[in-house]
Structure 1
Amino acid sequence: MSRSGYTLPVFACASAVAALHWLRHSQPLEVVSVDLIEPAQIVEIPIEQVAGLSKNSALAITRSDPGDNLDLTKNTPIWALVEWRKEPGEAVIIQGGEGIGKQLNAEGKAAIYAYAQRLLKENLCLMLAAGEKITVTIILPEGRSLAVRTSNSAFGVVEGLSLLGTTGISQPLSTPDQLDAFRSELQHKASRFESLVFCIGENGLDLARKLGINSEQLVKTANWLGPMLVEADALDVKEILLFGYHGKLLKLAGGIFHTHHHLADGRREILAAHCALVNLNSADIQAVFHSATAEAALTYLRSLDAKTGSNWVNQVYNAIAQAIDTRSQEYIQSHNTRGTAATICGSILFDRDRKIIVKSKTACILIEKLC
């Protein structure tokens, strides 16, 4: 059985709680209790170090423990600097320091998202008296160097890591145990809804909610799209909307139904093949093929459209979306032994700025039902 750990926001919160405790009592804590909120659970987080920097500020350090998840943040230090504040405003202000990423599409705003903000504020506000105010600065000393090994830049986050997620529990996303957990969630939701939305990761879940899709119809799949599609069909789910970042989801257009890059990639080959199918010229196909990332290939096609007044992005990505739908239907049908109509699939692909690139024809129908 794989061991679950906790997400980065939990350790950031624990550090902040320990630092605030020092400011109030001038005493270090070895362990702090954090209310995860999601799920409704109190957990104990060990504190590595606490130091008072002045009568108005203190710093505390924890270390990330994501359990058995293959997470590059494992054992990385998370600092929280807490300072008393007299200026008007919220009781708790959260800001990003060194190693916390900046959002390019939000004028450099710190990449500290809704769950992390809520987790910190709710736990810290319980420790404040009426009228007291603090500023909390989260620091990841290794964040900038670790970020170059992630896909953060593909989602417009630079210079560090994100405090992202919707839960405090960190689950191993590529183990059979995690697939069992995803299937269990799918079984529960399939008993309530005939139409569901599959999201590979947190970015898809977050964007789908913002579009007005009922969160109860969202199912996280991580990289297990193939098994999850087959399971949905077996559970008699009528319709699945595949909603994801184009650099992941386009793999399905090439028949790759486990999308972890350690198992299979093929993104540039799939992109280049669809460029050829819509008759893009050879030099431009070569440029797409040799792009460092799927996002870079999309940027190249967009610049080509801007220069020439062409429509290559729409042509290429419409072809890819249709291929995703077709290959998904074929994949499901190949595993359907009941002789019944297979689950219908549609697809929506978005870019690093969480802007939708394309909706397949089927997705356009499904999204009308879901929103």
Structure 2
Amino acid sequence: MPASDTASPRAGYTLPVFACAGALAALHHLRDTDHRPRAITLDLLNPPLPATIAIDQLAPLPDGSVLAITHSDPGDNLDLTRNTPLWSVVTWGRVGQPERILLQGGEGIGRQLNRDQAPAIYQYARELIHHHLTPLIPEGKTLCVTIVLPEGRALADRTSNAAFGVVEGLSLLGTSGISAPLSAPGQLDQSREILRAKADQYAHLVFCLGENGLDLACQLGIDPDRRVKTANWLGPMLVEAGQVSLAGVLLLGYHGKLIKLAGGIFHTHHHVADGRQEILAACCAAEGVALPIIQEILKAATVEAGLQSLRDHDAQTAQRVYRHIVARIDDRASAYVHAHTGNPLTVGTMVFDRQRQVIATSDRARLLFEQVLVD
């Protein structure tokens, strides 16, 4: 694992790193049956650092393929994939296979509904596997690599993957090999330090929970240096903003996370609290939405599905409900800060959907937005 001292949370690696390490070990044994690596050191590419991954089991299979098994270690994160096994099955490609490496998703790898059921193996995972395996493929041969997550289907039921169009398993997701400990308690101290440093320069900042918000902020023209990544620690970070006497904070995030603040939940990790459909249903009731629609939202599998139900019934009603939600988030967040610090803090809220399209912007957010744009 990446080095860390006792004062810092330990980072780990993302799932693509373990899948690639297993595939590389399996390929070594496929090429040379005497080669049975117990660990694989590979280049993460992003960042360009080495990582050594233990190979827990390695075996040839009756069909001529080779199976290597690794176990995920995401570091000091509240991550449901901790210690989950990843199987990498490697075999020579069939005659006429057009791809040098055919990368497939087996059991437990999700399917992307918006991409013709393609396996949820994203760009970084593909780049990592192609980079490390291609130089080892003999001339005239091709390779077939199948990644299996035996526990992936069961784990997926505990995520919001379906809201993002990924079903029946998990994704080999990530743009980096490092799994930063965003949900570990030690990360909060680091985030507070970043906030204090930025508060010395700016009176108005933008809080983003994760990478989607950070990326969208730049697309919207927000000054990149005003962004602060909060992960799930929104409550403590808002209190810190009040303590350093910021003038205002713009909250920019996925509605399925930020909606929790409308219900007074200020730590957004699902291990802490949920109630998203219930909060959406309550806000619908406050806006006079018909009871059958509210009941439908309460039965929705995800809050994204609840939003879609609202839109299907009446797009204008959906807009009205979400304007109510962002205004309620503003009020509850400001009251939360005042209760804990005694200081005022103007909070404005912008929420987006799974397509990164902004759903609703509060009145305060519109004013704050003008304060955080690139000069």
TM-score by length of 1: 0.81
Match for 2:325: what amino acid? I
Q: Secondary structure of 1:311's partner? A: helix
Q: Which residue of 1 aligns with 2:42?
A: 34
Match for 1:359: what amino acid? T
C-alpha displacement of 1:226:
1.2
User: In 2, are the aligned partners of 1:243 and 1:348 still within 8 Å (CA)?
Assistant: yes
Question: Are the structure 2 counterparts of residues 199 and 138 from structure 1 closer, same or farther at C-alpha, using a change threshold of 3 Å?
Answer: farther
Q: In the aligned structure 1, how far is the partner of 2:246 from the partner of 2:99?
A: 45
Q: Which residue of 2 aligns with 1:349?
A: 351
Q: In the aligned structure 1, how far is the partner of 2:42 from the partner of 2:225?
A: 26
Gaps of 5+ in 2: 1-5
C-alpha displacement of 1:318:
1.1
Q: In the aligned structure 1, how far is the partner of 2:230 from the partner of 2:140?
A: 44
Q: In the aligned structure 2, how far is the partner of 1:126 from the partner of 1:235?
A: 53
In structure 2, which of residues 166, 169, 186 is the aligned counterpart of residue 157 of structure 1? Answer: 166
Superposed CA RMSD: 3.5
Q: In the aligned structure 2, how far is the partner of 1:23 from the partner of 1:213?
A: 50
- The 5-angstrom pairing of residues 225-244 of structure 1 reads 225-235=234-244, 239-244=248-253
In structure 2, which of residues 10, 14, 23 is the aligned counterpart of residue 16 of structure 1? Answer: 23
- The 5-angstrom pairing of residues 322-361 of structure 1 reads 322-336=327-341, 342=345, 344-361=346-363
In structure 1, which of residues 41, 45, 48 is the aligned counterpart of residue 53 of structure 2? Answer: 45
Question: Are the structure 2 counterparts of residues 145 and 269 from structure 1 closer, same or farther at C-alpha, using a change threshold of 3 Å?
Answer: closer
Q: Which residue of 2 aligns with 1:178?
A: 187
User: In 2, are the aligned partners of 1:4 and 1:169 still within 8 Å (CA)?
Assistant: yes
Question: Are the structure 2 counterparts of residues 6 and 203 from structure 1 closer, same or farther at C-alpha, using a change threshold of 3 Å?
Answer: same
Q: Which residue of 2 aligns with 1:104?
A: 113
Count of aligned pairs: 364
| Residue 315 of structure 1 pairs with residue 320 of structure 2 | yes
User: In 2, are the aligned partners of 1:166 and 1:202 still within 8 Å (CA)?
Assistant: no
Please identify, of 207-216 and 98-107, the stretch whose mean Cα deviation from structure 2 is larger: 207-216
Q: In the aligned structure 1, how far is the partner of 2:226 from the partner of 2:143?
A: 38
TM-score by length of 2: 0.80
User: In 2, are the aligned partners of 1:165 and 1:202 still within 8 Å (CA)?
Assistant: no
Match for 1:360: what amino acid? S
Match for 1:278: what amino acid? E
Please identify, of 107-116 and 9-18, the stretch whose mean Cα deviation from structure 2 is larger: 107-116
Match for 1:61: what amino acid? I
Question: Are the structure 2 counterparts of residues 58 and 263 from structure 1 closer, same or farther at C-alpha, using a change threshold of 3 Å?
Answer: closer
Q: In the aligned structure 2, how far is the partner of 1:188 from the partner of 1:22?
A: 51
Q: Which residue of 1 aligns with 2:3?
A: none
User: In 1, are the aligned partners of 2:69 and 2:86 still within 8 Å (CA)?
Assistant: yes
C-alpha displacement of 1:100:
0.8
| Residue 146 of structure 1 pairs with residue 155 of structure 2 | yes
Q: Which residue of 1 aligns with 2:83?
A: 75
C-alpha displacement of 1:9:
1.4
Q: In the aligned structure 2, how far is the partner of 1:215 from the partner of 1:19?
A: 42
Q: In the aligned structure 2, how far is the partner of 1:45 from the partner of 1:208?
A: 35
C-alpha displacement of 1:17:
1.5
Please identify, of 165-174 and 210-219, the stretch whose mean Cα deviation from structure 2 is larger: 210-219
In structure 2, which of residues 103, 106, 131 is the aligned counterpart of residue 122 of structure 1? Answer: 131
Q: Which residue of 2 aligns with 1:251?
A: 260
- The 5-angstrom pairing of residues 185-224 of structure 1 reads 185-187=194-196, 196-205=205-214, 218-224=227-233
Q: In the aligned structure 2, how far is the partner of 1:209 from the partner of 1:120?
A: 30
C-alpha displacement of 1:281:
3.1
| Residue 273 of structure 1 pairs with residue 302 of structure 2 | no
C-alpha displacement of 1:159:
0.9
Question: Are the structure 2 counterparts of residues 7 and 81 from structure 1 closer, same or farther at C-alpha, using a change threshold of 3 Å?
Answer: same
Q: In the aligned structure 2, how far is the partner of 1:282 from the partner of 1:236?
A: 43
Please identify, of 85-94 and 108-117, the stretch whose mean Cα deviation from structure 2 is larger: 85-94
Match for 1:314: what amino acid? Q
C-alpha displacement of 1:352:
4.0
C-alpha displacement of 1:48:
1.8
Question: Are the structure 2 counterparts of residues 14 and 190 from structure 1 closer, same or farther at C-alpha, using a change threshold of 3 Å?
Answer: farther
Please identify, of 31-40 and 311-320, the stretch whose mean Cα deviation from structure 2 is larger: 31-40
Match for 1:22: what amino acid? H
Question: Are the structure 2 counterparts of residues 364 and 232 from structure 1 closer, same or farther at C-alpha, using a change threshold of 3 Å?
Answer: same
Gaps of 5+ in 1: none
User: In 1, are the aligned partners of 2:76 and 2:184 still within 8 Å (CA)?
Assistant: no
Question: Are the structure 2 counterparts of residues 366 and 15 from structure 1 closer, same or farther at C-alpha, using a change threshold of 3 Å?
Answer: farther
User: In 2, are the aligned partners of 1:63 and 1:75 still within 8 Å (CA)?
Assistant: yes
| Residue 300 of structure 1 pairs with residue 300 of structure 2 | no
C-alpha displacement of 1:145:
2.1
Please identify, of 99-108 and 69-78, the stretch whose mean Cα deviation from structure 2 is larger: 69-78
C-alpha displacement of 1:326:
2.8
User: In 2, are the aligned partners of 1:317 and 1:357 still within 8 Å (CA)?
Assistant: yes
